[in-house]
Amino acid sequence: MAYLAFYRTFRPSRFDEVVRQEHIVRILKNQIAGDKVGHAYLFCGPRGTGKTTLAKIFARAINCENPQDSSPCGKCPTCLALANNSNLDISEIDAASNNGVDEMRDLREKVQYPPVAGKYKVYIIDEVHMLTQSAFNAVLKTLEEPPRHAVFILATTEPQKIPATILSRCMRFDFKLLPISDLEGLVKSVLDKTGKEYEEAAVSAIARAGAGSCRDSLSIADMCASYSRGKLTYEDVNAVLGSAEWSKVAHICGRILQEDADGALTATEEILSGGKGVGVLVKDMLAFMRDCTIAKVCKTAREIINLPDETYKKIEETASAADGHKILRVTEILAKAETDMRYSTNGRITLETAVFKASTPLSDYNIDALIGRINALERSISAGVAIKPAPAAESVPAPKPKITLQEETACGLDPFAEKSAKPEIKIEPAEPKPAAVKEEDVQARLFDSYNRKPAAVGGADKNTVFAKFIKSLRTTRKNAVLFTLCMDLEHAFEGDKIVLLTDSEAVLKSLSRAENSAFIADVLADIGVPDHEIRLKAKSESDYEKALRELKTNFDGIDVKEK
């Protein structure tokens, strides 16, 4: 006999063998015991939850001569006759390939013939939502008032596509996805029956990959059992599923939570260079972040995660080193990246962008505003508009003398003070204030130095130095990481030295590392730039700070306090 897959070999044949769905099993058993079998049933729910299996058990049970606890005995003449595939009392129809009006008219004619072996003639129509509107109309009347010997069982994963006129004529049963604990028990029982040894972590991984579906879980278990020669291990399951090595995924997520963009991007490139799919890596990272969230929040995290002690200890350490808001932010960024990959032509860039954004929270910005600034700058450059230095800072006015509150009252500045003789007023000259150095002046001097000097340095054109520098970072994997960090930098010249400016402290810290700084110096030397410096741009003065400074200047004699 040809080999049968696990989900076919171990398909339940009795109600008590069905995993979960107790609410449906109980109703069906009570109807059989009370001889209150309906004429039309609708089984709907996700794939692999037992719709077709329960339909077959119910079809044999209502025809069994000696049901055992409302389940078919499998020994009576009727059960033996129904077990033969040539029997016509139980008909399975695939609506996906028999969805026309002609097929439904043929069914309407055949339903009039009485059953041969049993009491009922059962029609199981799978994927019934695939029927056309004309086909639904053809079977509508028959479904409402069929012969006494006919029972219809409609199965579908998309009940919303079925017309309301059909739904109202059926008893609807909604199947639910199975919990991981039940799937683990199912997989263990199947592996035990086949004599396959296994690790607990391997069974847990199979159950999680099944995502609530019995059929999916057993199909994965079938592949893993064929892959493993001896005892089924957690590594065997990861190899079959194509998942990245767990320790490497944990390393990437740890670097992200520690805001190490260089380390996170480097580890990501190593995994992708090894042949792992981008989509699989994102799912593995999301699964790890989910485990970190559970370890951070839940008191029973050890039982929920159900991984080996060494693995769980690593998850617990990673979660304890980061706060909950940071874990939530990284999870949201990765989840959005997974969604964006469906519409992206280059999922690798989408993942790298998400990793960089997640590991640099200080440089999180609005992308639309940045694009607008870049477009405006490109239009100015293409139009040949020269960059003018900012106007010189206005001279600071001489400080006003300080007058005490008692002197204000005595001079009549306070309208509610009593009039009295004017005392001698002592005026103390205020200390001169140093002129404030504005960030705009620093930038202006940088650009002025650039415009006034010859547009060449070390034999290289200043207008193309930065473009050549960025272009040279597109060769190896290490350069790709630096390219991601340097692509948003601004630049200016101080003589023959190029100054690279960034808004992010994380980017400044990463580029200032000894190995990265030396690599950048070598690249610039090849272009013709002898020296470079990486700086953090000064933050612009806010409106509040500007207003407060002007208030203190205009009312210099009065003590202005901030609250």
Of 174, 201, 217, the domain-final residue: 174
Same domain, 317 and 466: no
- Hey, is 409 helix, strand or coil? helix
Q: How many CA atoms lie within 13 A of 557 on its CB side?
A: 13
In a domain, 384, yes or no: no
What pLDDT shows up at residue 57? 93
User: Domain range holding 196?
Assistant: 180-241
What pLDDT shows up at residue 329? 87
In a domain, 563, yes or no: no
Same domain, 119 and 211: no
DSSP code per residue over 18-50: S-S-HHHHHHHHHHHHTT---SEEEEE-STTSS
Question: What CATH number is attached to the domain comprising 339?
Answer: 1.20.272.10
Please, what is the angle between helix 324-340 and helix 246-257, to 10°? 120
3-state secondary structure 336-379: HHHHHHHHCCCHHHHHHHHHHHHHCHHHCCCHHHHHHHHHHHHH
Same domain, 333 and 220: no
Eight-state DSSP code of residue 44 = E
In a domain, 327, yes or no: yes
What does DSSP say about strands 456-457 and 531-536: parallel, antiparallel, or unpaired? unpaired
Q: Which residues of the chain have pLDDT under 50?
A: 366, 368-370, 372, 390, 393-396, 401-423, 425-427, 430, 437, 442, 446-454
Q: Which two tokens stand for residue 23?
A: 């609410």
In a domain, 118, yes or no: yes
Question: What CATH number is attached to the domain comprising 224?
Answer: 1.10.8.60
Residue 402 CA to residue 418 CA, distance in Å, equals 22
Of 174, 200, 227, the domain-final residue: 174
Residue 436 CA to residue 543 CA, distance in Å, equals 16
In 3D space, the residue among 13, 49, 42, 12 whose CA is nearest the CA of residue 27 turns out to be 42
Task: Kindly calculate the radius of gyration of the chain based on its CA atoms and give it in whole angstroms.
Answer: 38
Same domain, 116 and 42: yes
Residue 172 CA to residue 156 CA, distance in Å, equals 11
The answer to whether 400 and 557 are in contact (CB under 8 A) is yes
Eight-state DSSP code of residue 16 = G
The answer to whether 341 and 282 are in contact (CB under 8 A) is yes
Same domain, 166 and 36: yes
Same domain, 463 and 342: no
Same domain, 153 and 126: yes
Q: Which two tokens stand for residue 263?
A: 């380390």
In a domain, 397, yes or no: no
What pLDDT shows up at residue 416? 41
Q: Which two tokens stand for residue 324?
A: 């909950």
Same domain, 302 and 322: yes
Of 158, 174, 190, the domain-final residue: 174
Instruction: Please write the tens of the pLDDT for every residue from 312-338.
Output: 888 999 998 888 888 888 999 999 999
Note the pTM of the prediction, 2 decimals: 0.57
**Number of domains comprising the chain:** 4
Same domain, 348 and 262: yes
What pLDDT shows up at residue 372? 47
Question: What CATH number is attached to the domain comprising 495?
Answer: 3.30.300
Q: Which two tokens stand for residue 111?
A: 């339903």
Same domain, 232 and 330: no
Same domain, 165 and 207: no
In a domain, 392, yes or no: no
- Hey, is 318 helix, strand or coil? helix
Question: What CATH number is attached to the domain comprising 22?
Answer: 3.40.50.300
What phi and psi, each to the nearest 5 degrees, are found at residue 351?
-70, -45
Residue 159 CA to residue 142 CA, distance in Å, equals 20
In a domain, 312, yes or no: yes
Same domain, 207 and 305: no
In a domain, 252, yes or no: yes
CA angle 557, 560, 563 (to 5 degrees): 175
